[in-house]
Each structure stands twice: as structure tokens, then as C-alpha cells.
Amino acid sequence: MLRAAGVGVGDEVVVPAFGNVEVAEAVVQVGALPVFADIDPVTYCLDPSDVEAAVTPRTAALVVVHRFGRSADLGRLHGIGQRHGLLVLEQGESEAPYDEIAQRRERAAYLDTKLRGVRTPDDGDGHTYQQYVVRVPGNGRPDRDAFARAVRARGVQCRVPVKTPVHRLPEFRRCVSLPETERAAEETLALPVDAALTRREMQRVVSACNALGGLLQPAF
């Protein structure tokens, strides 16, 4: 799509560094340079203010990636595109049936009220909970990775959604300040909210996490 739009050698394309190395790779494949912008700490999508700051006379496009079932601030991002004459591309997530989304939201609401010692996701803007992503604080106490190991040891599957931001990968290493991206990569953990999970399984998730909650400072 970038090539078809005329993006190529000498152009810059603003992209997120939080996950999706394929986006940066697609930019390189057309001969352009990926420029990384920081994310909003609530939506995990591109922060419009940081995108605006990343725009240069060589910027030709920006790629908006919707994340974990939350949508990026398309109004502001398209406004940036219009002001600077940029192509704005979107990468979405596969849509689930309404019933499945409703069940995820029900399970997410249960976790929201029961979990302790972690920061639960904001439920605004029609969150569909493709992933239920919490923040596990560090501050000298057990970190996200230790927390994940302990939760798995209690029989609960969880995953680190982004292990290494793209701007820290060897092939894309950049000396750029992306504090929210790096903080999210260090703190985020995806807990299960699959529509197939039973009430008992959801209770196990809560019990496993809250057994550790007393060791953690609430991330507020």
C-alpha cells in the first residue's frame, strides 16, 4: 500500500515502536525510513502529540496501529495528516462477533472489580478486549516478568504482549526517547478473557494474581 501511494526512497513514515515489527519492515521494503513515535499510555496507540513532533519535511505518511481492542485517536491523527499533507494508513485487528466481544467485556468487567495490585485497563472508547492488558509495577518489588512466572506457576496462562520495542531491535535501533513505549514494554501483561473461559477459570485468574498483590505497590 505504501508503494502504491508513491512512498519510497528518501521518504519518512511515522510508525509506533510498541510491537508490530512488520510495520517498520514494510516501510524499509519500499526504501523509506521508519520514524518511531511514542504511544499514549492508556490506549497503547500512537500519541498524536508525539506524531506531530516527529513530522519533518521528508515525512510522507504515518501508520496507525489499533492495539488490544482500543482504537487510536483517529480524529487528531487524521488532522495531522491533513495539515501536513500526509498519507494516513490504519492497521486494525480482526473483528470478533458481537456475542464474543460482549462475553469478553463481561469477563473484563469481572477482573476490573476483583484484581488487586495491578493497574487494570481503561474501558473507554468501545474497548473490545482483544487482549486484557494490565500494568504490573516494579519500584523495587517483583517486576512484571517475576509476576508472570508466579501467575503461570499457579496454572494461569498469561503473556507479555511486547517483549522488545521495535526501536530496540538490532535492525531498527534508534537513539530516540520513547518513555511511554519503554515503560509499557516493561510493565504490561495480558491476562486471559477468552469467551470460552468459565467462571471458575476467571476466579483462578483473580486468585493467582491477588495472591501476589500484597507484594506490589498499586500502579496509580
pLDDT band for 63, please (50, 70, 90 cuts).
Answer: very high
Asked if the model's pLDDT at residue 214 lies above 60, the reply is no
- At 81, the amino acid letter reads G
82-113 tens-digit pLDDT:
999 999 999 877 778 889 999 999 999 999 99
Using CB atoms within 10 A of its CB, is residue 141 exposed (0-12), middle (13-18) or buried (19+)?
middle
Which residues of the chain are in CATH 3.40.640.10 domains?
12-91
pLDDT of residue 139: 55
Report pLDDT for 219. 41
Q: Say whether pLDDT at 177 is over 80.
A: yes
Query: Could you read off the pLDDT of 17-37 as tens digits, one per residue?
Result: 998 899 999 999 999 999 999
CATH class of segment(s) 12-91: alpha beta
CA dist 108 and 96 (Å) reads: 16
From CA 114, how far away is CA 207, in angstroms rounded? 9
Q: Where in the chain is the domain with CATH 3.90.1150.10?
A: 98-213
**Confidence class for position 179, pLDDT limits 50, 70, 90:** very high
The Cβ of residue 83 has, within 10 Å, a number of other Cβ atoms equal to 10
Average pLDDT of the segment spanning 32-55: 97
Global pTM value: 0.90
By DSSP bridging, strand 132-135 and strand 188-191 are antiparallel
Domain 98-213 annotated CATH 3.90.1150.10: yes
Give the three cell numbers for residue 143: 517486576
